[in-house]
Structure 1
């Protein structure tokens, strides 16, 4: 019985082997292999042994000569390489851990990363001063241990001069340490959450420390960039700081109005600007500049902002010598209408005063643009690249523009955030001061007006009907009082 079963199995194996080679011979054009799914077979070579597994419900092992194995490989290898190339063309090579980390790092804000490193360095220095052998690494502590050491860190922390940090700086240190924890995979210990009972004591100590620092006068004097007023803006045009007389002048002009018209902030949003983000067009309302934003500090396009759109602003320009559509169009054409928006200005040549090279403007040079504008125009105040965005918000604020419309231009996501930019400029402060100051013309004129108003009230009171009636009553009372009983006959009294 066993011999008969062995004979049947041997016959089946021989038949399957014969069919296998017939199929291979008929597939010289790789037609068969291109139609059979790759997961239907798995060819492995080990010296002179070839193991084939087919979707036939039967696994078998067969021996071949070395040259047969080579021939079979020659038939299979070209097709497998071809399919691999097609896969590489579509999806590319398998991603590595290093590439994944580089992708995440590339989208982290550089200033935020710098603050994180600074905060951890402060903690590390304090830890070493305190004897690091007794204090565990920050990301290896549990909740109770972390709360214990952070309380002491907050109270003892000093800057390099041995002085206390201002309240906001202290808070930034704690924010940096929290980010450090998250970068090391610790996501369940938010010590800045006031509703987290594990860190309730720490939160109370941090709050008390910040209040104490404020009582000492730390952090009360903060410097903020001033917006450019309408008068100063007009001065910049009239003095030739703005205009199209040369490459540098035009570049400073489009830089400032990229800030003012589209609410771009400081250096960060300007560094990555591309020419194709600007479109010059015209419709029934007139000529316009359309700006299409990309990633920024307030809009990064991640999972948390799926319902938020990027900036897409259309600014209509008023015709005239200061038409921004003309200035932007001239500039974009001069830089080649491609690539980086800010490129290095070149010296003028006969017949071509506006020229730019292919090299982008350096980061340090770009950072000083607003300062250069204020110096060229002899403006008085504190100006930085952030002044442009403040000018945008303040100008609309003075004109009574709705907060939502201001937010559309500046890119802020909350009313609270945009209100920080709606600072009173010096012109408004002067008006408020004139109203309150006792020596100002406005205060004196209001005082005189108030005095005149009091006199007018007294005159009006004397001439009023009620006042006249009272005078008649008083006269009658005096007559009756002095003359005793008085009889009136045929008299009419009107009160």
Structure 2
């Protein structure tokens, strides 16, 4: 028996170089460029053309690219198309960069003008996955069926949702492939139970190609309440079908509380996972239809609002750098904006007569505080927006002013 493998060296790199989603994006971008070449009646092969020929092609392409409805693409789509074409060329041994090389300056000037044009057309906003609002979170957890752990479907819904939330997973990345033995229920030195993930995965930001350190991921701790995520996770494993090692299985059509198994030996597929949060949004009659990735956004946003620093959040989110988190924490909540407006109104209309500032320490970290602003004794405290300030008091201790943490605690049952 041969010690070494028999893989084709000419295709090995291409087959293992990128994720499936990246491959789909690349295919889409190259097809758009190919359609443009055909419609223009050009005879050019970008894998054989010279650098100058490709630069002239892209200069024309960026000025005239449109979708099938003859409208401008959105900004994030255009950015993805340019990056994907660049990737495609490099994957095929065209070792130059269409974004940074000086030969492509005129083409990229057109691309910049294109982005400005899309902004004028109202398509210049990069689409972000919105975090689930606190009110919608409350509706999910208070709905009589959606997260009802006395039913197989409710128990499954809660387990999937909290696996994404607490481990800050991307929308559908590897979710359908998760296995039971990749998770462990354990206790810390104080005897508090928690769930942690034992294995690493091939993800968007971690392809296993560098030696850069990775965080060990999030941990889901028991809260001792009826909504405890560990309690429901343990119950789900207890009712799991032992004939399958896949974590998420389809519920049985009929059941009783006394049954040992509530789930069929039928793993949930990618298509079902894909519409998971969309279906939950409809079932719970939420204010909008959320996507799976919105759960990840919720994790990052709640941690940010609660005063955790970006360098700590990225250890569970899997981001390579802190700057990447800005796309999730790029705005303040509507409640915070209302608080800002109220504060300005009180100053503008002269109602700000007797003021005081007070800080209440919360249990997240010794360095974190929740600050509120009170205009007079008869009014309710106004939570200040999420900003970092240097205290003007004598000890000049750093404070982080955050959204009302008690509201988050009430939803997840952590008080």
Length-normalised TM-score, structure 1: 0.65
Kept after mapping to 2: 8 A contact 1:343/1:359: yes
| Alignment correspondent of 2:142 | 238
Residue pair 1:394, 1:425 contacting (<8 A) in 2 also = no
What residue is the counterpart of 2:284 in the other structure?
377
Shift of 1:345: 1.3
Is residue 4 of structure 2 the alignment partner of residue 97 of structure 1? no
Deviation string, structure 1 residues 246-277 (Cα, Å, up to 9, x no partner):
11111110111112111011011413322122
Are positions 1:307 and 2:215 aligned together?
no
Which residue of 34, 41, 61 maps to 1:124? 34
- State how many pairs are aligned: 349
Q: Deviations over 1:51-78 (max 9, x none)?
A: xxxxxxxxxxxxxxxxxxxxxxxxxxxx
| Residue of structure 1 equivalent to 2:89 | 181
After superposition, the Cα gap between the structure-2 partners of 1:103 and 1:276, relative to the gap in structure 1 and judged at 3 Å, is farther
Shift of 1:200: 2.4
Find 2:299's aligned residue among 392, 395, 413.
392
Q: Give 1 or 2: higher helix fraction.
A: 1
Task: Quote the residue 1:330 is aligned against.
Answer: 235
Residues 426 and 374 of structure 1: CA distance in aligned 2, closer, same or farther (over 3 Å) = farther
Quote how far apart the aligned CAs of 1:117 are: 1.0
Pick one of 11, 14, 21 that aligns with 1:111: 21
Given that 1:394 and 1:424 are in contact with CA atoms closer than 8 Å, whether structure 2 keeps it comes out as no
The alpha carbon displacement at 1:354 in A equals 5.6
Change (3 A) 1:255 1:273: same
Q: Deviations over 1:163-219 (max 9, x none)?
A: 222333222222221122123221x221111xx222222222322332233234332
**d(CA) in 2 for partners of 1:313, 1:216:** 41
1:439-454 residue pairs with structure 2 within 5 A?
A: 443=345, 447-450=349-352
Deviation at 1:408, TM superposition (A): 1.4
SS in 2 for 1:386: helix
Which residue in the other structure is 1:225 paired with?
A: 129
Q: Measure how far apart 1:113 and its partner are.
A: 0.9
Contact 2:276-2:292 at 8 Å conserved across structures: yes
C-alpha displacement at 1:105, in angstroms? 2.1
Q: Quick one: which of 120, 124, 128 aligns to 1:215?
A: 120
The answer to whether the 8 Å contact 2:167/2:217 transfers is: no
Q: Does 1:147 align with 2:49?
A: no
Q: Where does structure 2 lack aligned partners over 5 or more consecutive residues? A: 356-415
- The answer to whether the 8 Å contact 2:250/2:267 transfers is yes
Q: CA deviation at 1:308?
A: 2.1
What is the aligned-residue RMSD (CA, Å)? 2.5
Aligned position for 1:64: none
Contact in 2 for aligned 1:166/1:213 (Cα 8 Å): yes
Deviation at 1:104, TM superposition (A): 4.4
SS at match of 2:195: strand
**Structure 2 counterpart SS, 1:257:** helix
Structure with bigger gyration radius: 1
> Aligned equivalents of 1:182 and 1:444: distance in 2?
58
Aligned position for 1:407: 314
- Please point out which of 54, 69, 80 is paired with 1:161: 69
**1:341 maps to what in 2?**
247
Alpha-carbon distance change, 147 to 107 in structure 1, aligned in 2, over 3 angstroms: closer
SS of alignment partner, residue 219 of structure 2: strand
Higher relative contact order (CA 8 A, sep 6+): 2
Asked if 1 retains the 8 angstrom alpha-carbon contact of 2:217 and 2:316, the reply is no
In 1, the alpha carbon distance for the partners of 2:300 and 2:58 equals 39
**2:106 & 2:347 partners in 1: Cα distance?**
57
Unmatched segments (≥5 aa) in structure 1? 1-86, 437-442, 454-495
Are the counterparts in 2 of residues 254 and 327 from structure 1 also a CA contact under 8 Å?
yes
CA distance in 2, matches of 1:103, 1:147: 27
Separation (CA, whole Å) in 1 of partners of 2:117 and 2:313: 36
Is the 8 Å Cα contact of residues 74 and 118 (structure 2) preserved in structure 1?
Answer: yes
Shift of the 173–232 alpha-carbon distance from structure 1 to 2, 3 Å rule, reads closer
- Normalised TM-score (structure 2): 0.77
